Structure 1
Amino acid sequence: MTTTDNPYNPDTEPDLYASYAAATGEQPKSRVKLVRLSDVKRERIDWLWEGYIARGKLHVIDGDPGLGKSTATADLAARITTGKPWPDGQPGCIPAGVVLLSAEDGLGDTIRPRLEAAGADLDRVVALTGITSWDEEAGELYERMPALPGDIGRIRAAVEQVGAALVIIDPLMAYLGGDVNSHRDQDVRRALAPLAKMAEETGAAIDLIRHNNKGGGNNALYRGGGSIGIIGAARLGFTFARDPEDEHRVIVACTKANITSIPQSLAYRLVDSPEHGCARVEWHDGPVGYSAADLLAASHESADDRDDRNDAAAWLRAYLMDNGGEADALTVYKAGEKAGISRDSLKRAKKRAGVKAEKGGFDAGWMWRFDDEGSTEGSTKGAKSAPPQGLLPSLPSVLPSEDPTRCDRCGGPVWLGSGKCQGACP
């Protein structure tokens, strides 16, 4: 195969079309649009929340019902309308509007209370509840739900009216038009491509919320309902799942990142807000050491595996109580082996048992003791303002970590499934 030095020159296009007409005797019915990349202005991703929410991009949020996905997105909407800092401590954005499309919750008894509990500026939030159309056969007006892709122009009008930085579509499946088969890749891409274009042109981020399907599988990308084309159209995807060690806590882990490195996983709890008659989100202080793969593996864990972990945690608590609340790690391992509990099982049981590992001194070994502060080994105090993975500064040298959820080199959190550092270690 030979190559020639023939750079594209847009000035020659008329000559090409004239040659086509001369050769065929007819004018071309279509024309190819070419863009020379040297003429394209280089741009950076415009982040609302760096690493997590990008302006002008589609995002997909997957999770089972009952995890508080809608409550969490209401919290994010409140931060956008007020400019409050993001859950990981990053500075908030310039206050902007939010457009909500919610098919499952009432405005007065659910959505407004959630937003108020989160501290939102309600004047900046609008709900697109319906489209009024004319029924020619009946000769009267009727109201219907917005549908994708037919009503994207109307969604755009709402975005422009309130200066929205975020559009939440909850759930996506309720807003796909009647002629869109959510399990057919071609239909889904036909519906979402113009939505992505609208996002790019307006600068609004789009959050598409889905419920998980009932299938299993080993890849978190396939857990969301509908065609794989849905997550394929998104630039960032996240899964919400219960913490395998704490049923009252929800982990938010990234499943896909096309425009950045995988951001750190976060966690929250739903707490009661009696004055508003609803729940609100309380974010965990700092990133947590679970990846989407970890959460998927935990969901497939057998009852026997859970019983083994509970037994190991119970033994560890009893052993430390019998030894004044602390013991060196090597002694714990030896005692555990005599009791039929492996070293790996004990390491995994520490968090459930409320035990932490601390270095006794430069020349001393690791000590296991009860965590008086109530923190867990997956927490990282002081990391609240840490930027996303890939943007972390170089970390100072620290003592190696014996903790399986901490990096041996830098002491930061690791992905539990692979043991790889979430930070900037080479």
Structure 2
Amino acid sequence: MNITTGELAQRMGDAESTAPGSTDDGCRLIVRRASEIEKKPVEWLWQSRIELGSLNLIGGDAGSKKSLLSCALAAAVTTGAAWPGDLNGRPPADTLFLPAEDDLSKAVAPRLAAAGADLERVHIVEATEIEKRTLACMLPRDAARLGRLIRQTDAKLCIIDPIKSYVDADTDSNRNEKVRNDLHPLVKVAADTNCAICLISHLNKACTTQPSALYRLAGSLAYVEVARTVSIVVADKDVPGRSVWVPVKINHAARPDALAFSVQTTDDGLPVVLWDKNPVPIDADEALAPKSKKASSVTDEAMEWLESELESGPMSAADVFKKGKEVSFSEPVLRHAYTRLGGKAVPIREAGKISGWEWSLPRRTS
């Protein structure tokens, strides 16, 4: 049977119209069967905390030590050091750093060095040169350039601190659709290079109508939605001088416990992160909640314990810490409690050298 050209075209059109995704307006949805999609495992820079090939959002108030945390992350990546709770470590890798708020020579480079980073592996992005003009680095304009630099250095970590300083001035940081579109090139860069891109953000002021930690991240909710991991750094309400890094959202793993760290000062006066050995079982909403005035704090409990232990006389600080650990009091808590009680440590000398410190409490007059 002979078929005319018109009939053949009609049959082809009928066949196309029955294909998955076809519509009557000449457009069609692009469809793939799930069986055709290549399956890939989720890869982690830090298991269940920082995901490779994705955006990772870390928020915190001013003074919460989130920038010091960034330096600690860069140090671990560039040296291959093991993360807290991870005994295996990994091969050293390069890191890109985009710091907008801290002075490079007075803060960024010295803090990276103090943290133990391999400075040869840290690449600090200062600006962009376009047609012989030096401009501030901006997204999404410079996303492709950033991707090329990641490939050239084979970096596994890229820190943008803070992200709002690098978002195009024309972008309204509170408009979800606009922010999502502007972040899309950066999402693609992370996926194409398998680099963990960490966006550092500030927190909004607490709001009683939006108590969830997810809504405390500054700017559009699109930042939270696009990132595969979201976490916050906050001051520990119960342990003065200690911060907690708390997971808020982990898309591709069970949410782990928070990690705590304190800040120590080097001989050169530089702050460095000192991780606590034990994780902290606290969620983000609890960490951000105001401290109850009625609740007895850990410091108050430690003060009562110290008064009981030192009632019979002086004790070496080493013994205090050892006994305190047995009842779950950390060294920072005990030091703060001792100061609150008015205690003054006396050096223990052996052969003319200080070998330790002796703690005692001032006598109370009746």
Residues 1:144 and 2:135 are matched in the alignment: yes
Aligned in 2, Cα 1:56/1:14: closer, same or farther, shift over 3 Å?
Answer: farther
1:252 to 245, 255, 278: 245
Q: Distance in 2 between matches of 1:313 and 1:87?
A: 26
Task: Identify which of 269, 288, 292 aligns with 2:284.
Answer: 292
1:333 corresponds to: none
State the TM-score, normalized to the length of structure 2: 0.76
Structural mapping, 1:335-414, within 5 Å: 372-375=322-325, 377=328
CA deviation after TM superposition for structure 1 residue 266, in Å = 0.5
* Residue from 179, 184, 199 that aligns with 1:193: 184
C-alpha separation between the residues in 2 aligned to 1:14 and 1:37?
25
How many residues in Structure 1 have an aligned counterpart in Structure 2? 310
After TM superposition, give the deviation of residue 318 of structure 1 in Å: 4.3
Aligned 8 A contact 2:127 2:136 in 1? yes
**Alignment-mate amino acid for residue 16 of structure 1:** E
Q: Shift of residue 322 of structure 1?
A: 6.1
Instruction: Describe the SS at the equivalent of 1:208.
Output: strand
Deviation of 1:107 after TM superposition, in Å, equals 1.9
SS of alignment partner, residue 247 of structure 1: coil
Give the superposition deviation at 1:104. Answer: 0.8
Aligned to 2:275: 283
Deviation at 1:233, TM superposition (A): 0.8
Contact 1:49 1:92 in 2 (8 A): no
Q: 2:161·2:201 contact (CA, 8 Å) conserved in 1? A: yes
Q: Contact conserved, 1:56 with 1:206, CA < 8 A, in 2? A: yes
Q: 2:119 aligns with which of 113, 118, 122?
A: 122
Distance, in Å, in 2 between the alignment partners of 1:258 and 1:233 is: 10
Q: Give the equivalent residue in structure 2 for 1:416.
A: none
Contact 1:114 1:279 in 2 (8 A): yes
CA shift at 1:119, angstroms?
1.6
Q: Determine helix, strand or coil for the equivalent of 2:280.
A: coil
Cα distance, 1:93 vs structure 2: 2.1
Instruction: Deviation per CA, 1:213-238: give whole Å up to 9, x if none.
Output: 12334211111110111111111111
The aligned runs of 1:162-311 (5 Å cut-off) are 162-217=153-208, 218-275=211-268, 277-297=269-289, 300-302=290-292, 304-305=293-294
Distance in 2 between residues matched to 1:271 and 1:310, nearest whole Å: 20
Distance in 2 between the 1:79 and 1:122 partners?
Answer: 12
Tell me if 1:86 matches 2:83: yes
**Corresponding position of 2:38:** 41
- Give the CA deviation at 1:43: 1.6
Contact 2:238/2:299 (8 A) holds in 1: no
The answer as to whether partners of 1:61 and 1:209 remain within 8 angstroms in 2 is yes
Give the residue type in structure 2 aligned to 1:96.
A
Specify the alignment match of 2:358 in structure 1: none
Shift in Å, 1:203: 0.2
- How far 1:320 sits from its partner (Å)? 6.3
Q: Which 5+ residue runs of structure 1 have no aligned equivalent?
A: 1-11, 135-140, 326-369, 380-426
Q: Tell me the TM-score normalized by structure 1.
A: 0.66
Q: Do the aligned partners of residues 311 and 69 (structure 1) sit closer, same or farther apart at CA in structure 2, a change above 3 Å counting?
A: closer
Partner secondary structure for residue 101 of structure 2: coil
CA distance, structure 2, for counterparts of residue 59 and residue 285 of structure 1: 24
Alpha-carbon distance in structure 2 between the residues aligned to 1:269 and 1:14: 69
| Match in the other structure for 1:392 | none
How far apart in 1 are the matches of 2:43 and 2:83? Answer: 16
Per the TM alignment, residue 171 of structure 1 is displaced from its structure 2 partner at its CA by 0.2
| Deviation for aligned residue 1:91 | 1.9
Task: Supply the distance in 2 between the matched residues of 1:223 and 1:306 (Cα, whole angstroms).
Answer: 24
Q: Percent identity?
A: 33
**C-alpha deviation, 1:372, in angstroms:** 3.4
**1-structure distance, mates of 2:91, 2:201:** 28
Q: Gapped runs of 5+ residues in structure 2?
A: 1-11, 315-319, 331-366
For residues 13 and 190 of structure 1, do their structure 2 counterparts lie closer, same or farther at Cα, with a shift above 3 Å needed? farther
Q: Identify the residue that residue 106 of structure 2 maps to in structure 1.
A: 109
Give, in whole Å, the separation in 2 of the partners of 1:311 and 1:82.
40
Rounded to whole Å, the distance in 2 between the matches of 1:13 and 1:120 is: 63
Letter in 2 for 1:163: D
Cα distance, 1:373 vs structure 2: 4.3
CA separation of 1:238/1:308 partners in 2, compared to 1, >3 Å: closer, same or farther? closer
Question: Could you say if the C-alpha distance between residues 48 and 314 of structure 1 is closer, same or farther in structure 2, counting changes exceeding 3 Å?
Answer: closer
Name the CA distance, whole Å, in 2 between partners of 1:239 and 1:97: 24
- AA at the equivalent of 1:219: S
Instruction: Tell me the CA shift for residue 259 of structure 1.
Output: 0.7
